[in-house]
Structure 1
Amino acid sequence: MLLDLARDGAAQAGKQLQTLTTERVNADQQLSMLLVYRQDYAERLQKATEIGLSASNYHNFRQFIATLDDAISQQNRVVAQIDARIEQGRQHWYAEKRRVNSFEALQSRERRLLQLRENRAEQLASDEISANLYRRARQQH
């Protein structure tokens, strides 16, 4: 029963780790999208300044790029938080796996001891049968 509980705990920890990894991939994709979007707007601003643009349009471009920079910073924090949670999840999963391995080792040891006891009992029974047969054979002579 303890082994089953430990296996369930390890499986649950593995699922949580998998969910976190998926979250990490999604967060990284969002970050990449923001970076591409920012690069695109920076290039647009560069082209617009080459052909000329008004101060208000320049200000709007710069303000939008600053907003993108804030979003990128926030997304970097989200990615870092997920990375920390993944590391915690990984440590939890390793602990659960060690627990399963410990219970499996105990179970294996118990099975070996039980098998040894059964073998000894079988040997004793066999020895007693042999001794009885020997005594009967001696009594008949």
Structure 2
Amino acid sequence: MAKPSSLDTLIELAQENADEAGKQLQLLSTERKNAEDQLKMLLEYRQDYAARLQAATESGLSASNYHNFRQFIATLDEAISQQNKVVAHIDVKMESGRQRWYAEKRRLSSFETLRTRHARQQAVRDNRAEQLASDEMSAIMHRRVRRNH
């Protein structure tokens, strides 16, 4: 079995780093979807509560109940604002994660290109050595044939 080269080790490490960056990006994507779902739920809840307030206002509502409705809606608005910030923060982390993943993939690709280039150069050297050996063998055979005649 061939001894692994340092380039093979670098490729293995780069692959591990790219895989890890991909996993982190996937986790962030799941986290973002959950945050989006929560934001959607808050928006729906706010819309429902605003509709309840509208219906209660039309049927008559005491000032204290009106105040409670408005205060609860303001609390929902604050929760929605905070959730929007959470989603935006995750978006920033995702972009950073995406950039890291791209960088790791480029690094891996560079190492693989180097390995391919090295293998190609080694094949050229091997072919030359084989050709030299063949030429030398032909020369020896030619000399033997000439001596025998």
TM-score (norm 2): 0.94
Q: Which residue of 2 aligns with 1:11?
A: 19
After superposition, where does 1:63-82 map in structure 2 within 5 Å?
A: 63-82=71-90
Where in structure 1 are there 5+ consecutive unaligned residues?
A: none
Q: Secondary structure at the match of 1:131?
A: helix
After superposition, where does 1:26-41 map in structure 2 within 5 Å?
A: 26-41=34-49
Shift of the alpha carbon at 1:43? Answer: 0.1
Matched, 1:118 2:134: no
Q: Secondary structure at the match of 2:52?
A: helix
Seq. identity, %:
68
Q: Which residue of 2 aligns with 1:59?
A: 67
Whole-Å separation in 1 of the counterparts to 2:32 and 2:131: 60
Whole-Å separation in 1 of the counterparts to 2:124 and 2:22: 36
Shift of the alpha carbon at 1:30? Answer: 0.3
Whole-Å separation in 1 of the counterparts to 2:104 and 2:34: 27
Amino acid across the alignment from 1:78 = V
Q: Secondary structure at the match of 1:53?
A: coil
Runs of 4 or more, structure 1, over 3 Å off, are none
Whole-Å separation in 1 of the counterparts to 2:34 and 2:124: 54
Q: Which residue of 2 aligns with 1:131?
A: 139
Shift of the alpha carbon at 1:8? Answer: 0.4
Tell me the matched-pair count.
141
Whole-Å separation in 1 of the counterparts to 2:132 and 2:114: 27
Whole-Å separation in 1 of the counterparts to 2:116 and 2:42: 54
Amino acid across the alignment from 1:5 = L
Among residues 105, 113, 121, which one is paired with 2:113 in the alignment?
105
Amino acid across the alignment from 2:85 = R
Amino acid across the alignment from 1:73 = S
Q: Which residue of 2 aligns with 1:95?
A: 103
RMSD across aligned C-alpha pairs, in angstroms? 0.4
Where in structure 2 are there 5+ consecutive unaligned residues?
A: 1-8
